[in-house]
């Protein structure tokens, strides 16, 4: 996957006769799991200006886009042209999609992805970001095609984007095909804490903290689910989307995707990850939160690694958000 690089940022069916309300058997996908999620960002809103955009073409095929120029909207306006059924976006999450972008004042196309291929781009929908794609897409279902109209302030803070020939008074139009969405946090059944493990304490955002027992560090690898997800199991070789935080046994946090404001993607393999992290993920299910205690020989051993002293026992709390 390629990440959506937009210089607008400072430099942009269930078959059969199952009883009502029954849960499908087997691993669940985002379409089902997302039914239990609440919106984090404000749900998208329409507008008179975005209603003037016309699209033709099927989902997954590069669209024909027409609109009057200059087209001037207010704030962030969204219109759904093709309604998907893959579960609603709730915000503060990663999505994979195809897109094309236009200058709303001139009608010129300035960017686009490779529609009709599996080479989707990714975008992290972060609450309060500019452009506010989180608001633009929250409430939109996976499998949908939408047009989003951003006024100049919402698109680029009124500064324009010289490299894209977007002036200070020019709005921006994007057409998005939403291919996949990943969970914002671990989602599933709470599991009772196990003896000997650090206690996981969650902030309202879902970011974990820990309380470490006043004992010597365990000498064996330990792993437990604190939230048991109902999605697909993870296998060696899978590429996964995660939120995670890591600490040494003495309580020093040394890494956190939460602190960076976006999830991380890893291939579950010993070639790129420490062995203890691979063991923590192997067999766990999408939607789960896993805590792992990793002894030095399955971590960084006797070699210091940045802020991690040599010989450290590591603790990771990992939210498994999806498989790419």
- pTM confidence score: 0.91
Whether 2-181 shares its CATH topology with 189-323 is answered yes
* Sequence spans of domains, the chain: 2-181, 189-323
Residue 3 has pLDDT above 50, yes or no: no
Q: Which of the four pLDDT bands, split at 50, 70 and 90, describes residue 77?
A: very high
| 26, 145 Cβ separation under 8 angstroms | no
3-state secondary structure of 218: coil
pLDDT of residue 217: 96
pLDDT of residue 26: 81
pLDDT digits (tens, 9 = 90+) for 91-102: 999 999 999 999
Beta bridge partners of 94: 124
| Site of tokens 């960076």 | 260
For domain 189-323, say whether CATH 1.10.150.130 is its number. Answer: no
Residue 230 has pLDDT above 50, yes or no: yes
Measured in residues, the chain has a length of 324
Q: Which of the four pLDDT bands, split at 50, 70 and 90, describes residue 1?
A: very low
pLDDT of residue 23: 62
CA dist 256 and 263 (Å) reads: 9
CA dist 257 and 43 (Å) reads: 25
Beta bridge partners of 246: 255, 316
pLDDT of residue 152: 98
Q: Which of the four pLDDT bands, split at 50, 70 and 90, describes residue 25?
A: confident
Tokens of 141: 């279902």
CA dist 275 and 25 (Å) reads: 32
Beta bridge partners of 176: 99, 146
Q: How many CB atoms lie within 10 A of CB 109?
A: 12
CA dist 53 and 107 (Å) reads: 11
pLDDT of residue 219: 96
CA dist 154 and 157 (Å) reads: 6
> Which one-letter DSSP state was computed for residue 323?
E
CA dist 264 and 280 (Å) reads: 16
Residue 278 has pLDDT above 50, yes or no: yes
Q: Which of the four pLDDT bands, split at 50, 70 and 90, describes residue 9?
A: very low
Q: Which of the four pLDDT bands, split at 50, 70 and 90, describes residue 8?
A: very low
CA dist 69 and 67 (Å) reads: 6
Level-2 CATH architecture, domain 2-181: Roll (3.10)
Give the chain's mean pLDDT: 93
CA dist 117 and 113 (Å) reads: 9
pLDDT of residue 22: 57
């Amino acid at each position: 996957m390629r990440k959506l690089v937009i210089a607008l940022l400072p430099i942009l069916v269930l078959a059969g006769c199952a009883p009502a309300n029954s849960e499908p058997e087997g691993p669940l996908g985002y379409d089902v799991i997302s039914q239990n999620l609440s919106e984090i960002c404000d749900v998208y809103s329409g507008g008179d200006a975005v209603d003037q955009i016309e699209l033709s073409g099927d989902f997954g095929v590069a669209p024909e886009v027409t609109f009057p120029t200059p087209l001037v909207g207010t704030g962030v306006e969204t219109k759904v042209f093709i309604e998907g059924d893959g579960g609603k976006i709730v915000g503060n999450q990663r999505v994979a999609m195809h897109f094309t972008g236009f200058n709303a004042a001139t009608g010129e196309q300035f960017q686009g992805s490779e529609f009709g291929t599996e080479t989707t781009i990714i975008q992290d929908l972060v609450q309060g970001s500019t452009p506010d794609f989180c608001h633009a897409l929250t409430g939109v279902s996976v499998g949908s095609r939408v047009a989003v109209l951003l006024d100049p302030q919402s698109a680029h803070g009124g500064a324009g984007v010289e490299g894209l020939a977007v002036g200070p008074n020019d709005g921006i139009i994007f057409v998005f095909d939403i291919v996949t969405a990943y969970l914002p946090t671990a989602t599933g059944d709470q599991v009772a804490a196990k003896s000997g493990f650090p206690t996981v304490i969650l902030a309202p955002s879902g970011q974990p903290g820990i309380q470490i027992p006043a004992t010597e560090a365990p000498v064996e690898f330990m792993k437990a689910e604190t939230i048991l997800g109902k999605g697909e199991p993870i296998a060696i070789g899978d590429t996964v989307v995660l939120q995670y935080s890591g600490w040494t046994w003495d309580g020093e946090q040394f890494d956190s995707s939460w602190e960076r404001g976006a999830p991380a993607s890893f291939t579950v393999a010993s070639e790129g990850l420490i062995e203890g992290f691979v063991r923590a993920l192997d067999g766990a299910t999408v939607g789960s939160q896993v805590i792992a205690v990793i002894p030095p020989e399955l971590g960084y051993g006797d070699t210091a690694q940045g802020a991690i002293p040599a010989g450290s026992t590591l603790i990771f709390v990992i939210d498994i958000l999806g498989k790419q």
